[in-house]
Amino acid sequence: MRPFVYAVAASRVVFGRGSLKAQLEGEVAQLGAKRVLVITTPHQRDIGEEVSSLLGARFTALYSNATMHTPVEVTEDALKVVSEKNIDCLVAVGGGSTIGLAKALAYRTDLLQIVVPSTYAGSEATSILGQTEKGAKTTLVSPKVLPEVIVYDVDLTLTLPKVMSLTSGVNAIAHSIETLYSAKSNPFIDLLAVEGIQVMMRSLAKLGSEPDDIEARSDALYAAWACGMCLGNGGGTALHHKICHTIGGMLNTPHAETHAIVLPHALQYNYAYLNKDSRRNLGRAFGLAVNEEGGRDQLEREGVEMAQKIFDIVQNGGAPTSLAALGVKSSDLEPVAEAAAKAPYPNPAPLEGPRLLELLHRAHLGSRPV
Ligand code: NAD
């Protein structure tokens, strides 16, 4: 057994269909909060209004300007509401952007947070805050940003469009994949990572043809939690996350789509450099036989097969597979590669300029890994 450190930071989790209506107010009361700020994006303001009405006298204000990549200007604007209205608790209802704003506010104020995720990004389960300022996305880790309570209610995800469901689910899978080759992970979190990938892959395959399947949606939400716990507790950020943060920060591409496009190519880049434990776990996660004694050709084949499984889920469900479809130009690729290599995250494969650029070109073209 390899040496490891186990130290899990976890929120209270309330999981179940109908839990938002049945349990949110009780959860707020249990925290002793009296003045709640509900947070959403402009797109989800309606759901914010519904949630506000569940809070009775504790509802104080609704802030519905949460924005992708958590720009610091938006946080500063919301901070004014927090202070003017004497807020003592945040209830964030939405995807990673909404939860990101709650975390950014909690980082600055240490306010209590209850979050109700409506995508599979997994941010709710981590102590990580990503913020954008002047076109650069930076991340920090602080116990202050981990929400006190997460309420998972599948009903909130029923409106998530099919393409966003698939890309967001692949975003979750990325957390678990990079956990499985992180030196900061441990055998317990690795188990959760394998479980998260297996359940999410199965759910996404179903949602690609039946996006209204409640059981598959409920399983995807559970897998999102598992994958988020891996990101939060196993250090699951390597080259893939670095590239996505760089592209998102520099070019303001949508987060989930960027992950879904880059992940197959980033996994292929790294696979042949993984140790046996990581390959065994990935093989179990993707239901593929791994030959632990295989030579270089065998390793490359295994990496391609796993990358193809992810690519096919994205393509078969009609989600974009190329960075070009997100408006990225081929002239953007070199600056992205340079920026990604400048302050690299720990990564199994060495960061070699020409290989990195080749990875980006493949993701730009959207070609199936071969
Ligand atoms: P998002 O929150 O930006 O949502 C995208 C759009 O979909 C928004 O307009 C939103 O209102 C809408 N939406 C969300 N749920 C919906 C639903 N159920 N029905 C209809 N519309 C819905 O997307 P995301 O991918 O969840 O989050 C991306 C952000 O999360 C990025 O800023 C990323 O950096 C951050 N993130 C952070 C972490 C972390 O640990 N810090 C982890 C993952 C993602």
pLDDT for residue 283 is more than 90: yes
Q: Which fold has domain 162-365?
A: Dehydroquinate synthase-like, alpha domain (1.20.1090)
Rounded distance from Cα 106 to ligand 1 centre (Å): 18
Any idea which residue has 């269909």 for tokens? 17
Rounded distance from Cα 3 to ligand 1 centre (Å): 35
Of 312, 106, 62, residue with least CA distance to 209: 312
Q: Which letter does DSSP use for residue 126 in this model?
A: -
Residues of the chain with CATH 1.20.1090.10: 162-365
Q: Which fold has domain 12-157?
A: Rossmann fold (3.40.50)
Confidence band of 292 (pLDDT split at 50, 70, 90): confident
Report yes or no: 184 and 246 within 8 Å, Cβ to Cβ. Answer: no
Rounded distance from Cα 97 to ligand 1 centre (Å): 5
Nearest alpha carbon, ligand 1 atom 42? 123
Q: Which two structure tokens, joined as six digits, stand for 340? A: 């990604």
ipTM of the complex: 0.99
Mutate to test the pocket of ligand 1, among 11, 44, 126 (most ligand atoms within 8 A of CB): 44
Beta bridge pairs of residue 128: 141
What three-state secondary structure class fits 33?
coil
pLDDT for residue 234 is more than 90: no
What integer pLDDT is reported at residue 325 of this predicted model? 98
Nearest alpha carbon, ligand 1 atom 17? 160
> Cα(271)–Cα(291) distance, rounded to whole angstroms?
13
* Side-chain-facing half-sphere of 86: CA atoms under 13 Å: 3
Mean pLDDT of all residues belonging to the chain: 96
Query: 39 in ligand 1 pocket by Cβ < 6 Å?
Result: no
The 10s digit of each residue's pLDDT in 170-186 is 999 999 999 999 999 99
DSSP string across 59-103: EEEEE----TT-BHHHHHHHHHHHHHTT--EEEEEESHHHHHHHH
What three-state secondary structure class fits 132?
strand
% the chain with pLDDT above 70: 100
Report yes or no: 291 and 298 within 8 Å, Cβ to Cβ. Answer: yes
Query: 138 in ligand 1 pocket by Cβ < 6 Å?
Result: no
Query: 95 in ligand 1 pocket by Cβ < 6 Å?
Result: yes
Residues of the chain with CATH 3.40.50.1970: 12-157
Beta bridge pairs of residue 138: 131
Rounded distance from Cα 282 to ligand 1 centre (Å): 26
Confidence band of 200 (pLDDT split at 50, 70, 90): very high
% the chain with pLDDT above 90: 90
